[in-house]
Protein backbone atom coordinates (compact mmCIF):
# COMPACT_ATOMS: atom_id res chain seq x y z
CA UNK A 1 0.00 0.00 0.00
CA UNK A 2 1.41 3.40 -0.95
CA UNK A 3 4.70 1.94 -2.18
CA UNK A 4 6.61 2.82 -5.30
CA UNK A 5 9.45 0.87 -6.84
CA UNK A 6 12.08 2.15 -9.26
CA UNK A 7 14.62 -0.13 -10.83
CA UNK A 8 17.81 0.51 -12.75
CA UNK A 9 20.86 -1.51 -13.65
CA UNK A 10 22.56 -0.81 -10.34
CA UNK A 11 19.92 -0.16 -7.69
CA UNK A 12 16.40 -0.81 -6.43
CA UNK A 13 14.52 2.02 -4.75
CA UNK A 14 11.54 1.25 -2.57
CA UNK A 15 9.42 4.07 -1.21
CA UNK A 16 6.32 4.45 0.92
CA UNK A 17 4.64 6.24 3.79
CA UNK A 18 1.65 8.51 4.34
CA UNK A 19 2.91 11.16 1.94
CA UNK A 20 2.23 8.77 -0.93
CA UNK A 21 -1.47 9.49 -0.42
CA UNK A 22 -1.88 12.30 2.16
CA UNK A 23 -0.93 16.02 2.04
CA UNK A 24 2.40 17.01 3.53
CA UNK A 25 2.34 18.40 7.05
CA UNK A 26 2.90 22.10 7.71
CA UNK A 27 3.76 24.46 10.54
CA UNK A 28 1.05 26.14 12.60
CA UNK A 29 1.50 29.36 14.57
CA UNK A 30 3.40 28.57 17.76
CA UNK A 31 3.35 24.93 16.77
CA UNK A 32 6.42 24.25 14.58
CA UNK A 33 6.65 21.20 12.39
CA UNK A 34 9.48 18.93 13.50
CA UNK A 35 11.11 16.50 11.07
CA UNK A 36 12.72 13.44 12.60
CA UNK A 37 15.11 11.62 10.28
CA UNK A 38 15.86 7.99 11.10
CA UNK A 39 18.60 6.20 9.17
CA UNK A 40 18.90 2.42 9.20
CA UNK A 41 20.72 -0.51 7.66
CA UNK A 42 19.76 -4.04 8.73
CA UNK A 43 18.43 -2.80 12.08
CA UNK A 44 14.92 -4.20 12.00
CA UNK A 45 14.52 -4.68 15.77
CA UNK A 46 15.95 -1.29 16.61
CA UNK A 47 13.97 0.42 13.86
CA UNK A 48 10.71 -0.76 15.35
CA UNK A 49 11.61 0.61 18.76
CA UNK A 50 12.66 3.95 17.29
CA UNK A 51 9.48 4.31 15.25
CA UNK A 52 7.36 3.49 18.30
CA UNK A 53 9.08 6.19 20.37
CA UNK A 54 8.36 8.77 17.67
CA UNK A 55 4.74 7.64 17.42
CA UNK A 56 4.26 8.03 21.19
CA UNK A 57 5.53 11.60 21.40
CA UNK A 58 3.39 13.99 23.43
CA UNK A 59 3.88 16.59 20.67
CA UNK A 60 1.73 15.98 17.61
CA UNK A 61 3.17 18.08 14.76
CA UNK A 62 5.90 15.63 13.74
CA UNK A 63 7.07 14.42 10.36
CA UNK A 64 8.94 11.10 10.50
CA UNK A 65 11.24 10.23 7.59
CA UNK A 66 13.15 6.93 7.43
CA UNK A 67 16.17 6.51 5.16
CA UNK A 68 17.07 2.83 4.86
CA UNK A 69 20.30 1.87 3.12
CA UNK A 70 18.89 -1.15 1.30
CA UNK A 71 18.39 -3.55 4.21
CA UNK A 72 18.01 -7.29 3.63
CA UNK A 73 16.91 -8.31 7.14
CA UNK A 74 13.18 -7.70 6.80
CA UNK A 75 13.34 -3.99 7.59
CA UNK A 76 11.44 -3.15 4.40
CA UNK A 77 8.57 -5.42 5.43
CA UNK A 78 8.52 -3.61 8.77
CA UNK A 79 8.44 -0.24 7.00
CA UNK A 80 5.53 -1.40 4.88
CA UNK A 81 3.66 -2.40 8.05
CA UNK A 82 4.31 1.09 9.49
CA UNK A 83 3.04 2.86 6.37
CA UNK A 84 0.27 4.59 8.34
CA UNK A 85 2.60 6.05 10.98
CA UNK A 86 5.77 6.94 9.02
CA UNK A 87 5.33 9.93 6.71
CA UNK A 88 7.98 9.02 4.14
CA UNK A 89 10.39 6.11 3.90
CA UNK A 90 12.93 5.20 1.27
CA UNK A 91 15.02 2.05 1.00
CA UNK A 92 17.93 2.01 -1.44
CA UNK A 93 21.72 1.61 -1.29
CA UNK A 94 23.61 4.75 -0.30
CA UNK A 95 27.20 5.78 0.32
CA UNK A 96 27.10 5.96 4.13
CA UNK A 97 25.77 7.64 7.24
CA UNK A 98 26.39 11.26 6.22
CA UNK A 99 24.82 10.68 2.79
CA UNK A 100 21.74 9.16 4.44
CA UNK A 101 21.46 12.13 6.84
CA UNK A 102 21.69 14.55 3.91
CA UNK A 103 19.06 12.65 1.97
CA UNK A 104 16.75 13.03 4.95
CA UNK A 105 17.44 16.77 5.19
CA UNK A 106 16.62 17.12 1.51
CA UNK A 107 13.19 15.56 2.12
CA UNK A 108 12.45 17.49 5.32
CA UNK A 109 9.64 20.03 5.57
CA UNK A 110 9.99 20.86 9.26
CA UNK A 111 11.17 24.06 10.90
CA UNK A 112 13.41 21.83 13.02
CA UNK A 113 15.22 18.68 11.91
CA UNK A 114 16.42 15.94 14.25
CA UNK A 115 18.31 12.68 13.72
CA UNK A 116 17.29 9.57 15.63
CA UNK A 117 19.08 6.50 14.32
CA UNK A 118 17.48 3.06 14.28
CA UNK A 119 17.90 1.57 17.76
CA UNK A 120 17.84 4.92 19.59
CA UNK A 121 14.63 6.18 21.16
CA UNK A 122 13.13 9.39 22.54
CA UNK A 123 11.68 10.11 25.93
CA UNK A 124 7.88 10.61 25.55
CA UNK A 125 8.10 14.38 26.14
CA UNK A 126 11.31 14.93 24.15
CA UNK A 127 9.95 16.84 21.15
CA UNK A 128 7.55 18.83 23.35
CA UNK A 129 10.46 19.98 25.53
CA UNK A 130 12.55 20.99 22.52
CA UNK A 131 9.68 22.86 20.86
CA UNK A 132 8.85 24.73 24.05
CA UNK A 133 12.45 25.94 24.21
CA UNK A 134 12.44 26.80 20.50
CA UNK A 135 9.23 28.85 20.72
CA UNK A 136 10.65 30.74 23.69
CA UNK A 137 13.99 31.30 21.90
CA UNK A 138 13.14 31.46 18.16
CA UNK A 139 16.57 32.83 17.27
CA UNK A 140 18.21 29.52 18.16
CA UNK A 141 19.79 27.52 15.34
CA UNK A 142 20.60 24.41 17.38
CA UNK A 143 18.63 23.18 20.41
CA UNK A 144 20.22 20.30 22.30
CA UNK A 145 19.37 18.32 25.40
CA UNK A 146 20.75 15.47 27.47
CA UNK A 147 21.24 11.91 26.33
CA UNK A 148 20.97 8.70 28.36
CA UNK A 149 23.66 6.21 27.36
CA UNK A 150 22.74 2.57 27.93
CA UNK A 151 25.53 0.07 28.61
CA UNK A 152 25.30 -3.62 27.64
CA UNK A 153 24.79 -4.48 31.33
CA UNK A 154 21.65 -2.28 31.31
CA UNK A 155 23.16 0.43 33.49
CA UNK A 156 22.62 3.98 32.25
CA UNK A 157 24.50 7.26 32.33
CA UNK A 158 22.99 10.68 31.65
CA UNK A 159 25.23 13.12 29.76
CA UNK A 160 24.25 16.77 29.38
CA UNK A 161 25.15 18.54 26.15
CA UNK A 162 27.60 21.41 26.57
CA UNK A 163 27.72 23.65 23.47
CA UNK A 164 30.32 25.88 25.12
CA UNK A 165 32.90 23.12 24.66
CA UNK A 166 32.16 22.15 21.05
CA UNK A 167 35.36 23.81 19.86
CA UNK A 168 37.40 21.70 22.29
CA UNK A 169 35.71 18.29 22.16
CA UNK A 170 32.64 16.33 21.17
CA UNK A 171 30.25 17.68 23.79
CA UNK A 172 26.88 17.73 22.00
CA UNK A 173 25.14 14.41 21.33
CA UNK A 174 23.36 14.11 17.99
CA UNK A 175 20.33 12.01 19.09
CA UNK A 176 19.43 14.93 21.39
CA UNK A 177 20.06 17.69 18.81
CA UNK A 178 17.42 19.58 16.81
CA UNK A 179 18.58 21.95 14.07
CA UNK A 180 16.69 24.78 12.41
CA UNK A 181 16.26 23.69 8.80
CA UNK A 182 17.30 27.11 7.48
CA UNK A 183 20.70 26.64 9.19
CA UNK A 184 21.49 23.81 6.78
CA UNK A 185 20.79 26.16 3.89
CA UNK A 186 22.97 28.91 5.36
CA UNK A 187 25.88 26.84 6.73
CA UNK A 188 25.71 23.51 4.93
CA UNK A 189 24.83 19.90 5.55
CA UNK A 190 26.87 16.88 6.70
CA UNK A 191 30.31 16.44 5.16
CA UNK A 192 30.16 13.08 3.40
CA UNK A 193 33.93 12.61 3.61
CA UNK A 194 33.48 11.71 7.31
CA UNK A 195 32.59 8.13 8.21
CA UNK A 196 32.14 8.45 12.00
CA UNK A 197 32.43 12.05 13.26
CA UNK A 198 30.22 13.79 10.70
CA UNK A 199 27.94 14.99 13.51
CA UNK A 200 30.85 16.56 15.39
CA UNK A 201 32.23 18.21 12.25
CA UNK A 202 28.82 19.73 11.55
CA UNK A 203 28.40 21.10 15.08
CA UNK A 204 31.92 22.51 15.04
CA UNK A 205 31.30 24.17 11.67
CA UNK A 206 28.02 25.60 12.95
CA UNK A 207 29.79 26.98 16.01
CA UNK A 208 32.60 28.54 13.99
CA UNK A 209 30.08 30.11 11.59
CA UNK A 210 28.21 31.81 14.41
CA UNK A 211 25.18 29.55 14.80
CA UNK A 212 23.27 30.14 18.03
CA UNK A 213 23.14 27.12 20.35
CA UNK A 214 20.55 26.60 23.08
CA UNK A 215 20.99 23.82 25.63
CA UNK A 216 18.33 22.36 27.93
CA UNK A 217 18.88 19.87 30.74
CA UNK A 218 15.94 17.57 29.94
CA UNK A 219 16.81 14.02 28.86
CA UNK A 220 15.79 13.85 25.22
CA UNK A 221 17.07 10.56 23.82
CA UNK A 222 18.38 7.14 24.78
CA UNK A 223 21.20 5.36 22.98
CA UNK A 224 22.70 1.91 23.46
CA UNK A 225 26.49 1.82 23.50
CA UNK A 226 26.76 -0.73 20.73
CA UNK A 227 26.67 1.41 17.61
CA UNK A 228 29.20 2.38 14.98
CA UNK A 229 30.66 5.34 16.87
CA UNK A 230 31.17 3.27 20.04
CA UNK A 231 32.79 0.32 18.26
CA UNK A 232 35.00 2.54 16.10
CA UNK A 233 35.80 5.04 18.81
CA UNK A 234 39.43 5.63 17.83
CA UNK A 235 38.53 6.24 14.19
CA UNK A 236 35.89 8.65 15.43
CA UNK A 237 38.39 10.55 17.56
CA UNK A 238 40.77 10.68 14.61
CA UNK A 239 38.04 12.35 12.57
CA UNK A 240 37.36 14.79 15.42
CA UNK A 241 41.06 15.64 15.22
CA UNK A 242 40.73 16.10 11.45
CA UNK A 243 37.74 18.43 11.88
CA UNK A 244 39.49 20.57 14.51
CA UNK A 245 42.62 20.83 12.37
CA UNK A 246 40.71 23.06 9.96
CA UNK A 247 40.38 25.78 12.61
CA UNK A 248 43.02 25.38 15.30
CA UNK A 249 46.84 25.21 15.63
CA UNK A 250 48.39 21.78 15.21
CA UNK A 251 49.75 21.65 18.78
CA UNK A 252 46.30 22.32 20.25
CA UNK A 253 44.73 19.71 17.98
CA UNK A 254 47.34 17.10 18.95
CA UNK A 255 47.08 17.74 22.70
CA UNK A 256 43.29 17.60 22.78
CA UNK A 257 43.28 14.47 20.63
CA UNK A 258 45.46 12.55 23.06
CA UNK A 259 43.51 13.85 26.05
CA UNK A 260 40.36 12.46 24.42
CA UNK A 261 42.06 9.11 23.70
CA UNK A 262 43.28 8.80 27.30
CA UNK A 263 39.83 9.66 28.68
CA UNK A 264 38.21 7.05 26.45
CA UNK A 265 40.70 4.35 27.38
CA UNK A 266 40.34 5.21 31.06
CA UNK A 267 36.55 4.97 30.88
CA UNK A 268 36.70 1.58 29.18
CA UNK A 269 39.27 0.29 31.66
CA UNK A 270 37.18 1.43 34.63
CA UNK A 271 34.13 -0.37 33.25
CA UNK A 272 36.06 -3.60 32.62
CA UNK A 273 37.61 -3.60 36.10
CA UNK A 274 34.34 -2.97 37.92
CA UNK A 275 35.21 0.60 38.85
CA UNK A 276 32.53 2.29 36.76
CA UNK A 277 31.50 4.26 39.86
CA UNK A 278 34.58 6.45 39.36
CA UNK A 279 33.46 7.18 35.80
CA UNK A 280 29.96 7.98 37.01
CA UNK A 281 31.32 10.36 39.64
CA UNK A 282 33.20 12.23 36.90
CA UNK A 283 30.03 12.61 34.86
CA UNK A 284 27.98 13.65 37.90
CA UNK A 285 30.37 16.51 38.60
CA UNK A 286 30.48 17.48 34.92
CA UNK A 287 26.69 17.55 34.68
CA UNK A 288 26.37 19.60 37.85
CA UNK A 289 28.85 22.15 36.48
CA UNK A 290 26.84 22.43 33.27
CA UNK A 291 23.59 22.89 35.19
CA UNK A 292 25.09 25.70 37.27
CA UNK A 293 26.14 27.59 34.16
CA UNK A 294 23.00 26.94 32.08
125-139, 185-199, 226-240: least confidently modelled range: 226-240
pLDDT at 104 over 80: yes
pLDDT at 223 over 90: yes
Return the pLDDT at 1.
39
- 3-state secondary structure (DSSP) of residue 264: helix
Give the mean model confidence (pLDDT) for residues 277-289.
77
Return the pLDDT at 174.
94
Q: How far is CA 158 from CA 150, 220, 256, in A?
A: 9, 10, 23
Give the mean model confidence (pLDDT) for residues 60-74.
96
Give 14's strand partners: 5, 91
Residues in CB range of 118: below 8 A, 6 or more apart: 38, 39, 40, 41, 43, 46, 47, 50
2-6, 51-55, 73-77, 284-288: least confidently modelled range: 2-6
- Asked if 233 and 261 touch (Cβ cutoff 8 Å), the reply is no
Q: What are phi and psi of 189, to 5 degrees?
A: -100, -160
pLDDT at 6 over 80: no
CATH code of the domain occupying 123-294: 3.90.550.10
96-100, 125-129, 289-293: least confidently modelled range: 289-293
1-121, superfamily in CATH? Spore Coat Polysaccharide Biosynthesis Protein SpsA; Chain A (3.90.550.10)
pLDDT at 220 over 60: yes
Q: How far is CA 257 from CA 80, 237, 240, in A?
A: 44, 7, 8
Give the mean model confidence (pLDDT) for residues 261-284.
78
| HSE (side-chain half, CA atoms, 13 Å) at 236 | 17
Who has greater pLDDT, 211 or 286?
211
The rounded distance, in Å, linking the Cα atoms of 223 and 213 is 22
pLDDT at 3 over 50: no
Who has greater pLDDT, 238 or 289?
238
Residues in CB range of 250: below 8 A, 6 or more apart: none
- Reported as a single tens digit per residue, the pLDDT across 121-167 is 999 999 999 999 999 999 999 999 999 998 766 678 899 999 999 99
Return the pLDDT at 229.
66
Give the mean model confidence (pLDDT) for residues 178-207.
97
- Asked if 206 and 141 touch (Cβ cutoff 8 Å), the reply is yes
% of the chain exceeding 90 in pLDDT = 77
Instruction: Read off the pLDDT band of 283 (50, 70, 90).
Output: confident
pLDDT at 8 over 50: no
Taking all residues of the chain, what is their mean pLDDT, rounded to a whole number?
Answer: 91
% of the chain exceeding 70 in pLDDT = 93
DSSP 159-189: E---GGGTTTS--S-GGGEEEEHHHHHHH--
User: Where in the chain do CATH 3.90.550.10 domains reside?
Assistant: 1-121, 123-294
Amino acid sequence: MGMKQETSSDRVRLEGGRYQRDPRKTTASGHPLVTIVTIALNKKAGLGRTAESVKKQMYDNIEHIVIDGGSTDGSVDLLRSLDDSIDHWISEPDSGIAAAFNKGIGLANGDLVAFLNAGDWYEPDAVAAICQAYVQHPGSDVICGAIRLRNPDSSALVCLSDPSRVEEESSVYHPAVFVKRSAFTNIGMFDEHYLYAMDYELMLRFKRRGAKFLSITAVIANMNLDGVSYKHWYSGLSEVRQARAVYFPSYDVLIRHWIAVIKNLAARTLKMTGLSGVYRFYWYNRNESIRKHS
